[in-house]
């Protein structure tokens, strides 16, 4: 979901200190922190960032914002500051001797085939493949599994530097046309075009100003539904607030200005709309959202009636309703209505009152993640302590079989239609690269469809799940992954990663970046914090709004356990996370700077008092609350990373990352945080900001940019954590098919 500034100005530091003292007096002091820094080395000379006399009044509390000018990404002053900061950062990174060896090894590890799970439409199969170092994955099609795949769309041809990404695809039910959306330079803004699948040629259709949208074809293949915003001002399109999304129907061969408005709510600026069409072609379903909360309204329209109206089915924002499929007028949903870990219900549109709902699969001890109607059965994926379990039941909820998985890890996929006898899914773990399986739904037999070969031996590594106790006594799990034979002597460089928000679960997955870290002798740790979805809606809610501090306590608790049990020590412990995870890192390093040797907040939400004033930030108030509410302001200002940097404090070595085209969490968050942190830092630990160009929040980032960013991250940590030298050549591991079993 979801920055950084600073100089050495005594007057501003004193003003900042006065503000901090006032806030502490008003809201209480946090945990004790270290106030001294080692004096070895020479402090970096950071670019001078001017200060402005900007003060805001929040419910009677005055809060200074001296770097407000950095919110204007288009100003010449901001651009000059960015250039100067990037020079400091790149000069620092260039002086790290291990950086090039890391980049070379990352390039070797990244150079392996990667596949998406296939799906079938109109008698054709579709899937994507990256041959290894391609900047973007290529979309292929084939008429049978034994057919030779044919390139349908290669995004690498859309931009020489690979910065145009394929953001989404939807094939017409007859398999004739492909609607595909692209995103440039990492922006959330998408453009939709239509390609003839037989000829590979694009039609005249071009739809713009699409953001956060599905694409849903009508059964006749003559057009599709999509969501868009009004055209923004070109100069400020990456920062302007996004309100009043509208749902349209585009008919193939017509200009966008002829598109038909299907549904909007001019009385509800925060509502968004996702369109779905049922496989039988009869219904349009509209999932209405408000912010990022998993609480939806459901509307539907009978497409068989020319004058059919959009009707409400669920007319409140009280729970999640994820549409699975329909059997005639009966709709199946996975919902957390009266079931925090979710259940499956059947709702008859002819008798939609809740009293008439039928529970097909009741809530269980494990969290229901997704459900798919296939082979006239329900294929249900669950999380058991953040690990995947898959169970098949009939349409009355009677168990059929469990799907045997290759090991402990994560699955995804299981796409298809109600009558399909086959489906595909992916499986991955921290030491098993993503492997694609075909599942015969009639026999339960699985077979490998595509399996990558990566130059490492998975038997050299082990994963264990550890439970620890957070500050308030809550039991929290984390995964610890490292080379076998890990010595518990407190000297292991460790990278602790977390997120803790928006009902998002962190489950085991393979990453060449993390593999490289472990090859370097590092320990990789993932904490499953409150605010996520690992244990359902109650777990999520316990890390939101006035309870957000629980997330930071969980993260700090993980770090304390790792230190107490001699996995690592504060001097060897780094923390990282992106977006909401960047906020997590910022809060942890300001609350407990003594606990960490390094911090890498990536594209983080750092100004918790103003996040809602940019692009889609207003939508995050469902998780964070808003500074416009007095009680929520008191909670926000206590942990807002920007507002809890204290002058004269020894902060860990820090590298903040952001990107110039990030229109999800605008770079001003990182800019202001960096400038403030640089001025506040005592001693010689570096505070750097790495500002990527022609990049956004992370989605669609070219492979080349990913490798460079990770090389900089691990290179930075080799110096910050005083790690041993990295070998310049690849390991002697032979190419290994790391599937985790058949």
CATH code of the domain containing 218:
2.130.10.120
Residues 196 and 728: beta-carbon distance below 8 Å: no
- Whether 426 and 533 map to the same domain: the answer is no
Q: By CB neighbour count within 10 A (0-12 exposed, 13-18 middle, 19+ buried), where does 305 fall?
A: exposed
Alpha helices (H) in 197-289, listed in sequence order: none
Assess whether 442 and 475 both reside in one domain: no
Cα(495)–Cα(518) distance, rounded to whole angstroms? 10
Answer yes or no: are the C-beta atoms of 289 and 298 closer than 8 Å: no
Sequence-distant (≥ 6) Cβ neighbours of residue 726 within 8 angstroms: 98, 101, 102, 105, 520, 718
Which listed residue (187, 372, 697, 739) is catalytic? 697
Q: Which of 428, 453, 478 is the last residue of a domain?
A: 453
SS3 content of the chain, % helix, strand, coil (to 5): 25, 30, 45
**Residue 184 neighbours by CB under 8 Å, 6+ apart:** 159, 163, 164, 661
CB atoms inside a 10 Å sphere around CB 461: 19
How many domains is the chain built from?
Answer: 3
Sign of the Cα torsion 61, 67, 69, 70 reads: negative
Q: State the pTM of this model.
A: 0.91
- List 466's β-bridge partners, or say none: 478
Q: Are residues 670 and 528 in the same domain?
A: yes
Tell me whether residue 311 is in a domain.
no
Is 437 found in the same domain as 390? yes
Q: Which residue has the tokens 């008439």?
A: 356
* Catalytic one of 579, 622, 627, 670: 579
In angstroms, the CA 525 to CA 705 distance is 24
Which of 47, 117, 115 has its CA nearest to residue 78? Answer: 47
Is residue 323 within 8 A of residue 372, CB to CB? The reply is no
Measuring CA to CA, how many Å separate 655 from each of 87, 210, 242, 491, 727? 14, 33, 30, 22, 24
CA distance from start to end of the chain: 37
Contact status, residue 196 vs residue 176, Cβ threshold 8 Å: yes
Query: Could you tell me if residue 154 is inside a domain?
Result: yes
Q: Find the CATH number of the domain harbouring 694.
A: 3.40.50.1820
Do residues 607 and 673 both lie within one domain?
yes
Instruction: Give domain status of residue 361, yes or no.
Output: no
Same-domain check for residues 543 and 685: yes
Strand partners of residue 367: 383
**Catalytic status, residue 579:** yes
Say if 344 falls within a structural domain. no
Domain assignment present for residue 352? The answer is no
Does the CA dihedral 715-719-722-725 come out positive or negative?
positive
Same-domain status, 48 and 97:
yes
Is residue 601 within 8 Å of 585, Cβ to Cβ?
yes
The 3 state secondary structure assigned to 129-147 is EECCCCCCCEEEEECCCCC
- Of 221, 240, 259, the domain-final residue: 240
b/e for 397-408, b at 16 or more Cβ within 10 A? beeeeebebbeb
Residues 81 and 197 in one domain: no
| Any domain includes 3 | no
For residue 53, the Cα-to-chain-centroid distance in whole angstroms is 36
Do 379 and 483 belong to one domain?
Answer: no
- In 3D space, the residue among 457, 431, 456 whose CA is nearest the CA of residue 510 turns out to be 431
Same domain, 467 and 612: yes
Where in the sequence is the domain holding 230, given as residue range(s)? 115-240
Other C-beta atoms within 10 Å of 732: how many? 7
Q: Do 494 and 589 share a domain, yes or no?
A: yes
- Whether 370 is catalytic is no
Taking the C-alpha atoms of residue 480 and residue 465, their distance in angstroms, rounded to an integer, is: 6
| Domain assignment of residue 269, yes or no | no
286 falls within a domain: no
State the 10-residue block means of pLDDT for the chain, 742 residues long: 32 32 34 44 90 97 98 93 96 96 97 96 96 95 96 95 92 98 90 97 97 96 97 85 95 98 96 97 97 95 93 97 98 98 98 97 97 98 98 97 95 97 98 97 96 94 97 98 96 98 97 97 98 98 98 98 98 97 98 98 97 93 97 98 97 94 85 98 96 73 92 98 70 42 38
Give pLDDT, residue 288.
97
Last residue of a domain, one of 210, 240, 270: 240
* Residue 331 Cα distances to 27, 108, 325, 378, angstroms: 49, 48, 6, 13
> How far from 590 is each of 294, 556, 586, 621, 654, CA to CA, in Å?
30, 11, 6, 22, 11
Whether residues 571 and 525 fall in one domain? yes
């Amino acid at each position: 979901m979801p920055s950084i500034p600073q100089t050495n100005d005594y007057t501003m530091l004193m003003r900042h200190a006065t503000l901090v003292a006032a806030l502490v007096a008003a809201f209480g002091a946090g945990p004790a922190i270290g106030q001294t820094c080692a004096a070895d080395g020479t402090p970096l000379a950071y670019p001078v960032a001017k200060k402005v006399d900007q003060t805001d009044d929040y419910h009677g509390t005055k809060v200074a914002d001296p770097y407000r000018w950095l919110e204007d990404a288009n100003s010449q002053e901001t651009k000059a500051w960015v250039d100067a900061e990037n020079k400091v950062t790149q000069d620092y990174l260039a002086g790290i001797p291990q950086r090039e060896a890391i980049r070379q090894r990352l390039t070797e590890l990244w150079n392996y085939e990667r596949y998406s799970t296939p799906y079938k439409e109109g008698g054709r199969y579709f899937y994507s493949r990256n041959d290894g170092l391609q900047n973007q994955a290529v979309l292929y099609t084939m008429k049978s599994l034994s057919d030779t795949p044919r390139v349908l769309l290669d995004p690498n041809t859309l931009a020489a530097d690979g910065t145009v990404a394929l953001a989404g695809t939807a094939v017409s039910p007859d398999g004739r046309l492909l609607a595909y959306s692209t995103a440039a330079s990492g922006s959330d803004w998408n453009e939709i075009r239509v390609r003839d699948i037989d000829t590979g040629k694009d039609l005249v259709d071009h739809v713009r100003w699409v953001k956060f949208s599905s694409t849903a074809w009508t059964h006749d293949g003559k057009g599709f539904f999509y969501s868009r915003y009004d055209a923004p001002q070109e100069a400020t399109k990456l920062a302007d607030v996004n309100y009043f999304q509208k749902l349209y129907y585009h008919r193939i061969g017509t200009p966008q200005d002829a598109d038909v408005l299907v549904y909007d709510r001019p009385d509800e600026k925060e509502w968004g709309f996702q369109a779905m069409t049922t496989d039988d072609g009869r219904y349009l379903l509209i999932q209405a959202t408000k912010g990022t909360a998993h609480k939806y309204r459901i509307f539907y329209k009978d497409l068989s009636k020319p004058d059919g109206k959009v009707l409400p089915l669920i007319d409140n924002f009280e729970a999640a309703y994820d549409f699975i499929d329909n059997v005639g007028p009966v709709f199946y949903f996975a919902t957390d209505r009266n079931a925090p870990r979710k259940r499956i219900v059947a709702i008859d549109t002819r008798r939609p009152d809740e009293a008439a709902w039928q529970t097909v699969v009741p809530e269980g001890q494990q969290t229901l993640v997704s459900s798919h109607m296939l082979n006239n059965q329900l294929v249900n994926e669950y999380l058991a302590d953040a690990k995947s379990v898959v169970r098949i039941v009939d349409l009355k909820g009677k168990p059929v079989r469990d799907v045997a998985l290759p090991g402990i890890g994560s699955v995804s996929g299981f796409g298809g239609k109600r009558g399909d006898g086959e489906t595909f899914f992916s499986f991955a773990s921290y030491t098993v690269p993503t492997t694609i399986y075909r599942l015969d739904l009639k026999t339960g037999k699985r077979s490998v469809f595509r399996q990558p070969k990566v130059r490492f031996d998975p038997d050299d590594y082990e994963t264990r799940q550890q439970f620890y106790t957070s500050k308030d006594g809550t039991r929290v799990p984390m995964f610890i992954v490292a080379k076998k034979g890990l010595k518990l002597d407190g000297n292991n460089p460790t990278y602790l990663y977390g997120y803790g928000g928006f009902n998002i679960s962190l489950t085991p997955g393979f990453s060449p970046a993390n593999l490289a870290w472990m090859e370097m002798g590092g320990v990789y740790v993932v904490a499953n914090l409150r605010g996520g979805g690992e244990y359902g809606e109650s777990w999520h809610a316990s890390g939101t709004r006035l309870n957000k501090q629980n997330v930071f306590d969980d993260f700090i608790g993980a770090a304390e356990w790792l230190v107490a049990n001699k996995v690592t020590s504060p001097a060897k412990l780094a923390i990282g996370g992106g977006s909401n995870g960047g906020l997590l890192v910022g809060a942890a390093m300001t609350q407990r700077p003594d606990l960490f040797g390094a911090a890498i907040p990536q594209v983080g939400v750092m100004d918790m008092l103003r996040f809602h004033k940019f692009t889609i930030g207003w939508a995050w108030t469902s998780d964070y609350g808003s500074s416009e509410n007095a009680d929520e302001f008191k909670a926000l200002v206590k942990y807002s990373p920007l507002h809890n940097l204290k002058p004269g404090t020894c902060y860990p070595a820090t590298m903040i990352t952001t990107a110039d085209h990030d229109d999800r969490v605008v770079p001003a968050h990182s800019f202001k945080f960096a400038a403030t942190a640089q001025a506040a830092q005592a001693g010689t630990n570096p505070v750097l900001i790495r500002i990527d160009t022609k990049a956004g929040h992370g989605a669609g980032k070219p492979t080349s940019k990913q490798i460079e960013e990770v090389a900089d991250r691990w290179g930075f940590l080799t110096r910050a954590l005083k790690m041993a030298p990295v070998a310049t050549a690849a390991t002697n591991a032979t190419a290994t098919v790391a599937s985790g079993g058949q």
